[in-house]
């Protein structure tokens, strides 16, 4: 008698997803970079996996004069060549439509409303609407006002489950400071109920970010160690090798503190925090990957006298019983040697080093690394005896990779977040109070930088890991940055 092969639980596909509703997805800024690079490819992958309802329609809205056929052809070029000629693409392309219009023109929104009503009737859509603001934040006010004035959205709470739903996805940044964030939230709430608002931070859609709580709380070997008794320090790094590229005007008005620190890094930290020491700097000419690059002030579109920071490093103290006394080190910057995002949790060494008397050097700390990009995964370093007669202890790695364990790479963050919004699941989206609390913290830093005793704006060559002062920030506690 032969037994049935065991089912690998990591590849068990028996779990079923909740079905999505047919809806009209309206993408404002449909000819822009975000739509081309992220939104249409993500929606196409969802369609290929049959995770979008087949009657769903996707309507692009932008200033450029196009018809639906020209829009479909332009969107075809956003997917890999073979996919663009596939039956799956032809089926998906049949759900793509385009309506030209100026964001400040109320008549354009009334015309959009007629298009949506026609698609409802033609495709059997019950009036469900998902609006995606894939535009610069400066366009939000006009878009929201005209969506409301044209009656395109139905303001309702989640309790109205049987009625057609309306939802809006808003891209970061959510304001420029606390005051503007509150103003934007008030404007959004004049058209949509908070339960209809989905503030997107794509970091929250990454599998490893979602895995942090699961990893900690579902594994008995880690949860008891997740506190100041066993953890010596935590490092969060968001490194980018690119400069400002085509975003000079936007970046120069906000800097790295608003572009990454206020949203991505605060979401990765999500704790009660107090800033202690902060280093700010701007890159000068250097080389990234062997290619010479100009300094920030020489980048096209940047003020040659700009005082905008492109690098920020900070020591953060967490004011609660679990993490009191454990420094959290954060760093983020442009034109660093490589692109990488990682959380490193450094554990304390045993209080009595048993092997020192046997001639072993000081043990290296155990480090748990949560790699968010690229190559999402988790690794843990620990000490092991090297083979041989002598007693030598060397660090070794245990690694988890999505492809190895699950047979596939994790889905794109936008893919997951678009699906969640379609399903009405706001778990991975930022709430109003989260956004305002993050700005309240960052505003304190920005106000200090505007004061008479503000810290100097340091410099670092492009292609390096930041100014020496960022290393000194850790050396005060006999710590160092772990390499990415």
DSSP codes joined into one string, 4-24: PPPP-GGG---PPPPPPPP-E
| For residue 6, pLDDT beyond 50 | no
Confidence of residue 441 (pLDDT cuts 50, 70, 90): confident
Q: What is the mean pLDDT of residues 392-409?
A: 80
| For residue 255, pLDDT beyond 80 | no
**133 with 242, same domain?**
no
**156 with 220, same domain?**
no
More confident residue, 173 or 56: 56
Q: What is the mean pLDDT of residues 94-98?
A: 95
**215 with 274, same domain?**
yes
For the annotated binding site for substrate, the residues are: 202, 206, 240, 259, 334
418 inside domain: no
Q: Calculate the alpha carbon distances from 393 to 365, 386, 389 in Å.
A: 12, 6, 12
Nearest to 23 by CA among 138, 116, 142, 161: 116
Specify the DSSP element, H or E, that contains 382.
strand 377-385
Assess contact for 135 and 103: CB atoms under 8 A.
yes
355 inside domain: yes
For the annotated binding site for NADP(+), the residues are: 63, 172
Q: Which domain holds residue 439?
A: 205-412+429-475
CA distance 48 to 79: 12
More confident residue, 321 or 129: 129
pLDDT of residue 365: 86
Residue 264 annotated as catalytic: yes
How many structural domains are present in the chain?
2
Strands (E), 51-183: 57-62, 96-100, 129-133, 166-171
More confident residue, 345 or 211: 345
| For residue 15, pLDDT beyond 50 | no
**98 with 228, same domain?**
no
Q: Which of 9-18, 163-172, 447-456, 465-474 has the highest mean pLDDT?
A: 465-474
**123 with 253, same domain?**
no
| For residue 272, pLDDT beyond 50 | no
Q: What is the mean pLDDT of residues 26-37?
A: 93
**151 with 211, same domain?**
no
| SS3 assignment, position 456 | coil
CA distance 203 to 428: 9
**161 with 223, same domain?**
no
Q: What is the mean pLDDT of residues 286-292?
A: 91
Q: What is the mean pLDDT of residues 191-216?
A: 83
Tokens of 438: 């993050």
Q: What is the DSSP string of 216-231?
A: HHS-TTTGGGSSTTTE
Q: What is the mean pLDDT of residues 368-388?
A: 85
More confident residue, 124 or 276: 124
12 inside domain: no
Q: Say which of 36, 53, 193, 264 is annotated catalytic.
A: 264
Residue ranges of alpha helices (H) inside 153-240 are: 178-189, 207-217
4 inside domain: no
**Domain boundary, last residue among 125, 149, 171:** 171
pLDDT of residue 359: 61
CA distance 236 to 230: 18
* Range with the poorest average pLDDT among 15-19, 42-46, 185-189: 15-19
17 inside domain: no
More confident residue, 419 or 157: 419
What burial letters (b/e) apply to 259-280, b meaning 16+ CB within 10 Å?
Answer: bbbbbbbbbbbeeebeeebbbb
**123 with 232, same domain?**
no
Q: Which of 144-148, 349-353, 364-368 has the highest mean pLDDT?
A: 144-148
**119 with 66, same domain?**
yes
| For residue 124, pLDDT beyond 70 | yes
In total, the chain counts a number of residues equal to: 484
pLDDT of residue 155: 81
Assess contact for 234 and 345: CB atoms under 8 A.
yes
Region for 446 from its dihedrals, namely left if φ exceeds 0, alpha if ψ lies in -120 to 50, beta otherwise: alpha
**213 with 319, same domain?**
yes
pLDDT of residue 25: 96
Q: What is the mean pLDDT of the chain?
A: 84
CA distance 53 to 56: 5
At 307, which CATH number?
Answer: 3.30.360.10
Confidence of residue 104 (pLDDT cuts 50, 70, 90): very high
- The 8-class DSSP code of residue 430 comes to B
Q: What is the mean pLDDT of residues 30-49?
A: 92
pLDDT of residue 9: 39
At 37, which CATH number?
Answer: 3.40.50.720
**166 with 309, same domain?**
no
| For residue 202, pLDDT beyond 60 | yes
8 inside domain: no
For the annotated binding site, the residues are: 63, 172, 202, 206, 240, 259, 334
pLDDT of residue 384: 80
pLDDT of residue 263: 61
More confident residue, 1 or 359: 359
**290 with 371, same domain?**
yes
């Amino acid at each position: 008698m032969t037994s049935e092969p065991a089912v690998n639980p990591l590849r068990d596909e028996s779990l079923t997803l909740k079905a999505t509703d047919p809806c009209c997805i309206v993408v404002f800024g449909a000819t822009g970079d975000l739509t081309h690079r992220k939104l249409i490819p993500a929606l196409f992958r969802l369609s290929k996996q049959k995770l979008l309802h087949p009657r769903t329609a996707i309507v692009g809205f932008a200033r450029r004069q196009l018809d639906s056929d020209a829009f479909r052809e332009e969107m075809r070029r956003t997917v890999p060549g073979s996919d663009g000629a596939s039956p799956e693409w032809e089926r998906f392309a049949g759900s793509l439509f385009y309506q030209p219009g100026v964001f400040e023109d109320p008549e354009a929104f009334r015309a959009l409303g007629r298009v949506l009503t026609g698609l409802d009737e033609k495709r059997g859509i019950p009036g469900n609407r998902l609006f995606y603001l894939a535009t610069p934040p400066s366009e939000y006010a006009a878009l929201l006002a005209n969506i409301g004035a044209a009656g395109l959205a139905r303001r309702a709470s989640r309790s109205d489950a049987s009625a057609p739903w309306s939802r809006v996805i808003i891209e970061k940044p959510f304001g420029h400071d606390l005051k503007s964030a509150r103003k934007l939230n008030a404007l959004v709430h004049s058209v949509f109920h908070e339960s209809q608002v989905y503030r997107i931070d794509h970091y929250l859609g990454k599998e490893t970010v979602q895995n942090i709580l699961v990893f900690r709380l579902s594994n008995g070997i880690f949860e008891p160690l997740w506190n100041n008794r066993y953890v010596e320090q935590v490092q969060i790094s968001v490194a980018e090798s690119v400069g400002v590229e085509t975003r000079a005007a936007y970046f120069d008005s906000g800097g790295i503190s608003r572009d990454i620190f206020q949203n991505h890094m605060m979401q990765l930290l999500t704790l009660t925090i107090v800033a202690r020491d902060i280093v700010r700097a701007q890159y000068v000419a250097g080389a990234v990957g062997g290619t010479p690059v100009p300094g920030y002030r020489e980048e096209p579109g940047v003020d040659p006298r700009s005082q905008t920071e492109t690098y920020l490093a900070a020591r953060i103290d967490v004011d609660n019983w679990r993490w009191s006394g454990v420094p959290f080190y954060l760093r983020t910057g442009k034109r660093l040697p490589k692109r990488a995002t990682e959380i490193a949790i450094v554990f304390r060494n045993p209080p009595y080093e048993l092997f020192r008397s046997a001639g072993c050097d000081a043990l290296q700390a155990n480090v748990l690394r949560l790699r968010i990009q690229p190559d999402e995964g988790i690794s843990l370093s620990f000490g092991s005896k090297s083979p041989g007669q002598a007693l030598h202890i060397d660090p070794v790695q245990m690694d988890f990779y999505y492809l190895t364990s699950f047979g596939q790479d994790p889905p794109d963050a936008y893919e997951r977040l678009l699906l969640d919004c379609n399903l009405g699941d706001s778990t991975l989206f930022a709430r109003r109070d989260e956004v305002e609390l993050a700005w309240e913290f960052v505003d304190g830093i920005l106000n200090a930088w505007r004061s008479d005793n503000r810290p100097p704006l340091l410099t670092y060559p492009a292609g390096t890991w930041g100014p020496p002062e960022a290393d000194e920030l850790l050396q005060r506690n006999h710590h160092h940055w772990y390499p990415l």
